[in-house]
Structure 1
Amino acid sequence: MKQDKCRIIPPGFRNINRNRTNRISIAMNTQSIFLKLFVGGAFFTIILCSARGDEELEPEKKILSRHKRPPTYARNEKDDSKWSGIIRDGIDAARKYFGNYGPVYVYILGHEDKTLNSKDFHRKLVDAYCRHHCGDSRKELQSCKTGPGAELVKKALSGRGDAYLSFVGDTDPPIAELVFINPHEFRDPYLYTRGIHEYTHVYQRSFPVTPTWMVEGGAEFFAAYLGQKHGWEKLSDAMKEFMKNVHRVKDPELGIEDMEDVDKVSPAVKKYYRHLAYDAGAWAFAFMIHKSKRRSIADTRKVLYPLVAKHGWEQALVEFAQVKDKRTFYRAFRDFLKTPLEAQLKMLETLED
């Protein structure tokens, strides 16, 4: 079935489908674009325009790839605060570790100084945003600007902070958008690690799909691990906080096995999305490395994800963690969660760079 209008896609770690023969470029330079806009908010709405022909590759099967150009930044040129630099530092730390993948567009929106806000700022962002998502169709652009585009500004002005990746799969090549809203609302050094977390998703989207717990848990693990490497955070402290949240799950029957696909879980499970995917997921990612042959964190890049590309995530997990099947891994991880925190932290010490 084909669509002829834009529609709203829920926020989060998302796929965005578009059908356009030629991608409309926004006036951006290689290193940075400066949009004069003050916006912020808890959630973005993402726009889906037009339809895909049935013969085209499904967006969820598309992946990012090695890319020569660094991320393109969209931010307010009049904002001289430290926040955009912190975000860039985190992203660059992850790029140095994983490599440069893309194309990537980074949007940094929202400021402490509300005088940076104006209708002109809003107009420029909405125009660029809608052209990026809806092409140059006059009807679709107008629908976007008065609908989802206007809603974007309204939500942004709510003043809440947020950060996420959006995957745009119907372009050729597909692109990733990293969105940081009101970064001054994030505590320091948390903002450093958010750049790492979101760029880790870029790397992950360069391989076939993996379970939600591995996606978010892996991003949280690397945010803490690389954060420690750069002096922004201690891995052990971050993992302690994660474990506290793991133990806040009231249903003892729930585990990471229930968070393989967050879009398919019941509301009763989804309310523990943070606890199971991010917090337990980070520990499961570390436990998986602990179970591997060399206990090397770098082997996730050298061995695990190449196995995902070759065999899919389930077989990759089995081979990398040296287990009979995924159920065996899940049972072993459940047993691990029952051990004292001191023993759990000792496990982290067995991991090699």
Structure 2
Amino acid sequence: MRPSFVLTFLLVLGIAGMAPAEETGKRGEASIIPAPTLLVADGLNTDGSLVKHYRRGLDYAIDYFGNYGPYYVYLLSSDSENSVRQIYLQRAKNRINRNSKISTAEEQVDEFLKRHNVINEIKAVLAGKAEGGLTWTQNPPILYEDVTTNAKGREKDPLENTWGALHEYHHVFQMAHCDTKQSRSSDKHINSWMAEGMASYSSAKFMENLGLINFEDYMLKLKKSGGNIGRPGINEYVAQHPNWQLKNEAYWEEGGSAQIYYMLGAWATAYLIHVKEVKEVVVLKEWYFDIPKLGKSAAFKKHMGLSLSEFYQEFRPFILQPDDKVMQIFKPTRKVQ
């Protein structure tokens, strides 16, 4: 497993000697990318368990997908405002583009710290609000960040801590093979159900591989209750919204993103692996390599064996079947429907 560097920011520790990330060339060139860096705020990880359980997931994901980045993990809390502000200063330094011809390093740091979203995020940290998630830069230096504004919850829940690390790193891999400046409906980017659904499937499957959960039980919970993603589950949602569409990108604003992109997306991933019998590593990993060259639609058809439109037509009647019927796809002796 690749090591992760852990930086704990206490009041007595400075960061002046830390070097910002340099531009790393092409997005996703794993051979020249450093190991992930974890930046942990004062007041967290006093017994080492927060980082231990995060790394349990992160290390597994890197072993599977490869090392992409640079990747910075920010585990924050409201215990020390000075510690939080020192971390955000370092976050700004990590984003410095040394090749910029329009602004100095100091100007870039100042600009980042004055952004409204950054100011509001710091306020959320200091207020103890649980927000955040994966973000990335669109311009050099290309880097990825997993931000948890209140990591107290992660510290108290080792399973969800590991699970979240697995889920977010799959996104790092995904975004490294997409043109993230394009819309989700673009052929150079992946749909939300692919991003969230495949990461939901992979993280649950990897959690089972680590001996932490039962994967089939989890998939059934997505149908019945929504599991650890939200309420309602798939069954209730599709009954109330019969015109749902997996490819529709409007659910982030309209509501229903949890059910469509995460839950149904996870089951769509399961359909490809367990019904269409595409190898798991192809669905979760290998088809992404062709997206930059071929585009999403052609890459999907090449690796999955059917077009996206054909897939949507097949998946809808499948997922609307009773729970005991759809759960048969996980049985070794099942018949492919």
Name the TM-score, length of structure 1 as normaliser: 0.72
Task: Tell me if structure 1 keeps the 8 A contact 2:42–2:83.
Answer: no
Task: Tell me if structure 1 keeps the 8 A contact 2:88–2:113.
Answer: yes
* Residue type at the aligned position of 1:180: T
* Residue type at the aligned position of 1:328: E
1-structure distance, mates of 2:257, 2:9: 34
Task: Tell me if structure 2 keeps the 8 A contact 1:291–1:321.
Answer: no
* Matching of residue 254 in structure 1 with residue 280 in structure 2: no
Structure 1 unaligned residues grouped into runs of 5+:
1-28, 38-61
Task: Tell me if structure 2 keeps the 8 A contact 1:200–1:219.
Answer: yes
Q: What's the offset of the Cα at 1:90?
A: 0.8
2-structure distance, mates of 1:181, 1:189: 18
Q: What's the offset of the Cα at 1:220?
A: 0.4
* Residue type at the aligned position of 1:184: K
The aligned counterpart of 1:211 is: 191
Structure 2 unaligned residues grouped into runs of 5+:
12-25, 98-103, 179-188, 225-232
* Counterpart among 256, 261, 278 of residue 277 in structure 1: 261
Secondary structure in structure 2 of the residue aligned to 1:257? coil
CA spacing shift, 1:237–1:318, aligned 2, 3 Å: same
Q: What's the offset of the Cα at 1:266?
A: 6.6
The aligned counterpart of 2:120 is: 151
Secondary structure in structure 2 of the residue aligned to 1:164? strand
Q: What's the offset of the Cα at 1:238?
A: 1.9
CA spacing shift, 1:349–1:80, aligned 2, 3 Å: farther
Tell me whether 328-337 or 340-349 shows the greater mean CA deviation.
340-349
* Matching of residue 124 in structure 1 with residue 86 in structure 2: yes
* Counterpart among 130, 134, 138 of residue 165 in structure 1: 134
Secondary structure in structure 2 of the residue aligned to 1:64? coil
Q: What's the offset of the Cα at 1:286?
A: 1.2
* Residue type at the aligned position of 1:64: G
Q: What's the offset of the Cα at 1:335?
A: 0.6
Identical columns (%)? 22
2-structure distance, mates of 1:143, 1:152: 15
* Counterpart among 171, 176, 187 of residue 201 in structure 1: 171
Q: What's the offset of the Cα at 1:223?
A: 0.6
Q: What's the offset of the Cα at 1:71?
A: 0.5
**RCO comparison, higher one (Cα < 8 Å, 6+):** 1
CA spacing shift, 1:302–1:275, aligned 2, 3 Å: closer
2-structure distance, mates of 1:236, 1:194: 19
* Matching of residue 328 in structure 1 with residue 328 in structure 2: no
Tell me whether 184-193 or 143-152 shows the greater mean CA deviation.
143-152
Q: What's the offset of the Cα at 1:132?
A: 3.5
* Counterpart among 72, 89, 102 of residue 69 in structure 2: 102
The aligned counterpart of 1:191 is: 161
Q: What's the offset of the Cα at 1:218?
A: 0.6
Aligned residues: 286
* Residue type at the aligned position of 2:152: H
Secondary structure in structure 2 of the residue aligned to 1:226? helix
Secondary structure in structure 1 of the residue aligned to 2:280? coil
Output aligned runs, 1:39-54, within 5 Å.
none
The aligned counterpart of 2:185 is: none
Name the TM-score, length of structure 2 as normaliser: 0.75
Tell me whether 64-73 or 143-152 shows the greater mean CA deviation.
143-152
CA RMSD of aligned residues (A): 2.9
Output aligned runs, 1:1-353, within 5 Å.
31-36=5-10, 63-67=27-31, 68-76=33-41, 79-81=45-47, 82-110=49-77, 114=79, 117-118=80-81, 120-133=82-95, 136=104, 138=106, 141-142=109-110, 144-145=112-113, 148=116, 149-172=118-141, 174-186=142-154, 187-208=157-178, 209-244=189-224, 245-249=233-237, 250-258=240-248, 262=249, 265=250, 270-292=254-276, 294-300=277-283, 303-323=286-306, 325-349=307-331
Q: What's the offset of the Cα at 1:151?
A: 2.8
